[in-house]
């Protein structure tokens, strides 16, 4: 049986510190997984606005700037227990982002999110990420840091 497909669009980024030596990775405690900060696009938002908002909400860093245009995207299908009548398809657009100020706010995550995070040296970003698609996206984004 073919189920109808629900499309989802998200955006996020690889957040670099001011010296371009470390990137901030999110630790999703419920799944014990490291990932890039990202989240769903709200109605009326551009992808850039979504990326900036989600990076802020998940990391607490608001003083960031996106470097260049969309650098990479990933796509995947998934199932949701609460919507078994649908197949779900997600596209996530990732930007390269740079911290412009070290100030970090606390308690910026959405209610119910149980996320941690840490700065990881650029040489260890890819090996620390839990998902192959995000590893590939990070490699592409890290290639942009040398330009």
Q: Looking at residue 43, what is its pLDDT?
A: 96
The pTM of the full predicted model, rounded to 2 decimals, is: 0.86
Taking the CB of residue 80, how many other CB atoms lie within 10 A of it? 12
Q: Name the residue range of residue 106's domain.
A: 5-144
Q: Looking at residue 116, what is its pLDDT?
A: 86
* Distance, CA of 146 to CA of 62 (rounded, Å): 24
Q: Looking at residue 103, what is its pLDDT?
A: 74
Share of the chain above pLDDT 90, in %: 65
pLDDT in tens, 94-134: 999 999 988 776 767 666 666 789 999 999 999 999 999 99
- The DSSP symbol for 104 reads B
Structural domains counted in the chain? 1
65 alpha carbon, distance to own chain's centre: 15
SS3 137: helix
CATH number of the domain encompassing residue 125: 3.90.79.10
Looking only at Cα atoms, what is the longest distance across the chain?
52
103 alpha carbon, distance to own chain's centre: 20
pLDDT in tens, 63-78: 999 997 667 889 988 8
Q: Looking at residue 70, what is its pLDDT?
A: 65
């Amino acid at each position: 049986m073919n189920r109808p497909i629900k499309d989802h669009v998200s955006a996020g980024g690889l957040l670099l510190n001011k010296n371009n030596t470390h990137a901030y990775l999110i630790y999703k405690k419920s799944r014990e997984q490291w990932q890039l900060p990202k989240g769903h696009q709200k109605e009326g938002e551009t992808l850039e606005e979504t990326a900036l908002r989600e990076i802020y909400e998940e990391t607490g860093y608001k003083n960031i700037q996106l470097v260049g245009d969309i650098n990479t995207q990933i796509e995947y299908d998934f199932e949701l227990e609460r919507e078994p009548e649908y197949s779900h398809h997600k596209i996530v657009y990732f930007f390269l982002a740079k911290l412009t100020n070290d100030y970090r706010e606390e308690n910026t995550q959405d209610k119910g999110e149980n996320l941690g995070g840490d700065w990881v040296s650029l040489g260890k970003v890819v090996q620390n990420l839990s998902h192959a698609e995000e590893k590939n996206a990070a490699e592409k984004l890290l290639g942009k840091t040398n330009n």
